Chains A and B, each alone.
Chain A
Amino acid sequence: MLKAILNALRYVLNFEWLAGVSIGAAKNVFLVLFVLIGILVLLIPNDYIYKGLKKRKWWLNLKLWALGDLAFIFITYYIF
């Protein structure tokens, strides 16, 4: 009984239940995740983004900065 519980725990904790997922599929999951985060970034209100600034310039829009970060990591994951 104890051994069965330990084996079940090991199966869960070591992510053996994900062993059937291919590297390509896992990569796609992460790429979709980055796109979703990008959509969430776009949904942030501009007032919140520019809080603390006197003048609003397009290059100070932190959404662009965050999308740049996401694009970088997306491309890195996509290539490798």
Chain B
Amino acid sequence: MANAYMIGNQAIVQRCLAAKSEWDAKASMIWGAFLKMFIPMLVLFPGLIAIALHPGMEDGDNAFPLLVKELLPAGWGLVGLMFAALLAGLMSSIDSMLNSTATLWTKDIYEKYIRKDATDRHYLIVGRMATIVLLIFGVITSPVSQYFEGIYVAIQTFLSFFQGPVFSVLMLGIFWRGTTQWGGLFGLLGGITVSALLYIFKGYLFEIEDPFLYVSWWSFLAGLVIAIVVSLFTRPHPDERLYGLVYRLPEPKPNTAQVGA
């Protein structure tokens, strides 16, 4: 489901939209995919080292700070450098997420349904206020992670609710011209519902304690099936509306009668 993050996550997509050109956006994604391949190693190795050094460690979230404290030589500034890098990475991720969520709220909900004809400055202020509210919400809800085995599991569990259904609808919309807005909506809502049900009944349905990858995959499949079925029963969009959105859809031919006139 790494594809769901690299292709479907708004924080990543928004970075591509800020690229200098279409080529730069594509190149950044391929470069990102290359770096992403090292993530399993970067995540696994510190954990394995920590288990080897401290076999009785109870809280996995303590592994990384403990390794930094014990293994990095003191007096060279390396510990400070490591935490500066950690904070820089964290801030970069958090500001991307806040920015993308504030954009989604302002552009897709506030501007569309609450106040349509306001000035750009108004929307800018709304976006900034949304960022502050989201940040406060994030701080208030952060203790929720203590109910999970670790922060990593908490993040993956929350992601698993949405990334499968979002990715299914996105892929279908890009590669199948028959996808309709109702198909997308029902696929998304149906997929999220399946995720929630799988998580609620995980004790009865799964053999492992934290089945976030299973939930992601099955909700992806559920979203895909629901979106296809609903799309087949609803009126398809005309090609003119889909050009530029659906992969390899031929450009609509100009109306010859109008050109002649």
Contact = CB atoms under 8 A, between A and B. Distances in A.
Q: Is the interface of A mostly helix, strand, loop or mixed?
A: helix
A51 B206 contact: no
Interface string A23-42: 00000000000000000000
A6 B207 CA distance: 13
Interface string A1-33: 000001001100111000000000000000000
Nearest to A10: B205
B23 A50 contact: yes
B92 interface: no
Contacts of A51: 21-23
Contacts of B21: 51-53
B22 A13 contact: no
Interface residues of B, number: 20
B15 to A, nearest CB: 16
Contacts of B23: 49-53, 60, 62
A14 B27 contact: no
Q: Is the interface of B mostly helix, strand, loop or mixed?
A: helix
B91 interface: no
Contacts of A72: 34, 37
A65 B30 contact: yes
B33 interface: yes
A10 B31 CA distance: 39
Contacts of B25: 52
Given A51-B22, A62-B23, A10 B37 contact: no
Nearest to A12: B218
B115 interface: no
Contact of A14 (B22, B24, B207): B207
B233 interface: no
B30 A14 contact: no
B26 interface: yes
B207 A10 contact: yes
A52 B24 contact: yes
Interface of A: 6, 9-10, 13-15, 49-53, 60, 62, 65-66, 68-69, 72-73, 76
Interface of B: 20-27, 30-31, 33-34, 37, 198, 204-207, 214, 218
> What are the 8 A-B residue pairs with the smallest beta carbon separation, nearest first?
A52-B21, A52-B23, A52-B22, A65-B30, A51-B22, A53-B23, A69-B34, A14-B207
